[in-house]
Structure 1
């Protein structure tokens, strides 16, 4: 076990977050086995309350769809969107930040002005506009969320690169005749990644909430069950069947808390490693 892994294992917050995320991941992976078939199909009578029917342990919605099946399959969508958006935004942000940090003053300033331009627009409004134009599909939702989240990693990566590029091993690589792109992606970027990766927890949590908000407003993928869509569906019968909105809302809260705690443990482990280095 590496030193960073040992430090993470000693973090109560990180372990609690990992346990929550593992439970949600297990639910998402087991959804096709526990609830085979289309989770959006009509499965029984409408508005069966929770724990009133063994066939539908969490009840049914106003159309007769199984709530438990929707929650399990919704976990797949939420986690997939969160992870995909984090990978996309971290990749784009790291690339732009690295190039801005290593480029000359004019090129670096131009790249950072692009970052500033994206940051002037609220991330959710940018996501909403993108999905409105591109259409309500899962790839469009992922792209929309990444479009509003890549600027943070870009700024952090640039700040790290500006510090790292002055170190001796970077100068030695340049003297040895290594291509500038090789220096950027083999010597500089790997050492700039830890603080950038620490943002992944915030991005994943924000992506999950953004996807839920887009689904709540009717801009989610209509072919997939989402927690935000379930909350929106339940608001029409909020007085008579509050569980239809409460249950997916609780899972959203659990996901965000789990990601936050996991991120705290990861940040602490990576920060300790950097301090010792």
Structure 2
């Protein structure tokens, strides 16, 4: 059975794949279905859902189309989650590989730097960084990556410590390969699977962190975000709760989809290793 079929036969993986497919479809179709500025006024303010079928989810207190904002917010969440996770995994894998393969003083220095980053909660680190540098999409991605690279670094280091003593690594040393070439061409590819298994957790955490920063007014002001939509609806929660409930449900379903898909990948990989 192919890995894809094995993945889709896992109930949680199938549910996660459906939710992620919906998120990706929303992000890719946002500009096609809702061209122009999603923050432009589209109708009367505070229009309830299902009152006007040209505005199926109604409008916010400024008269902006909630459905258009929801679709464009999916693009922001997906971009931040994937980019921040990729940055964290790359930095963590490089640091962990260097620390585990070099050992000695290099290992000590890199691990003490990792410890220093881990002593600060990731959200507080992101909050402080964005507050100092200023809110923009790139800065938010960097801020989230700063707080999440330490986990992949420790996992990569642990894997490299066990791999560096194997025979093929000793053979690469004997034939005169440069230590960095051995570390990144021979050792790192075999240490990556456990590191990549953390990607779903990091993506979900990145999406939640971006939403929290936007909720606090520290997101990119030029982009629609689900956290910003929730914060916008907070001021009229009694009279128009849908303004916070709709993006809140989208955020919950997205994070749930990422977690379920990640669990499916881990289970599929475990089954495949057991068969091999």
TM-score (normalised: structure 1): 0.97
**Distance in structure 1 (CA, Å) of the matches to 2:249 and 2:206:** 17
Match of 1:218 in 2: 217
1:89-108 correspondence runs (5 A)? 89-108=88-107
1:145-184 counterparts in 2 under 5 A? 145-184=144-183
Q: Does 1:47 align with 2:30?
A: no
Alpha-carbon distance in 2 for matches of 1:92, 1:274: 27
Q: Which moved more, 1:10-19 or 1:25-34?
A: 10-19
- Counterpart for residue 61 of structure 2: 62
Match in the other structure for 1:249: 248
Q: Which runs of 5+ in 2 are unaligned?
A: none
Q: Provide the C-alpha distance between the structure 2 equivalents of 1:40 and 1:163, rounded to a whole number of angstroms.
A: 53
1:11 and 2:25 correspond? no
What is the Cα deviation at residue 273 of structure 1? 3.9
Displacement of 1:143 in angstroms is 0.2
Match of 1:24 in 2: 23
Specify the alignment match of 2:231 in structure 1: 232
Report Cα offsets for 1:109-135 as digits up to 9, x if no partner: 110000000000010000001101111
Looking at structure 2, the residues matched to 16 and 252 of structure 1 have their Cα atoms a distance apart, in angstroms, of 16
Q: Kindly indicate whether the alpha-carbon contact (under 8 Å) linking 1:194 and 1:270 is maintained by their aligned counterparts in 2.
A: no
Cα distance, 1:6 vs structure 2: 4.3
Once residues 9 and 164 of structure 1 are traced to their aligned partners in structure 2, the CA distance between those partners, rounded to angstroms, is 32
Asked if 2 retains the 8 angstrom alpha-carbon contact of 1:205 and 1:259, the reply is yes
Q: Aligned partners of 1:209 and 1:217: how far apart in 2?
A: 12
1:197-256 per-position Cα deviation (integer Å, ceiling 9, x unaligned): 010000000000000000000000000000000000000000000000000000000000
User: 1:62, 1:137 → 2: CA distance?
Assistant: 24
Higher mean C-alpha displacement, 177-186 vs 264-273: 264-273
In 2, Cα distance between equivalents of 1:236 and 1:62: 9
CA distance in 1, matches of 2:134, 2:115: 26
Quick one: distance in 2 between partners of 1:131 and 1:100?
29
Which stretches in structure 1 are left out of the alignment for 5+ residues?
A: none
Cα distance in 1 between the residues matched to 2:10 and 2:250:
23
Q: Deviations over 1:42-76 (max 9, x none)?
A: 11100000000111100000000000000000000
Residue 43 of structure 2 aligns to a residue whose secondary structure is: coil
Number of residue pairs the alignment of both structures matches: 276
Q: Relative to 1, partners in 2 of residues 1:13 and 1:159: Cα closer, same or farther, differing over 3 Å?
A: same
TM-score by length of 2: 0.97
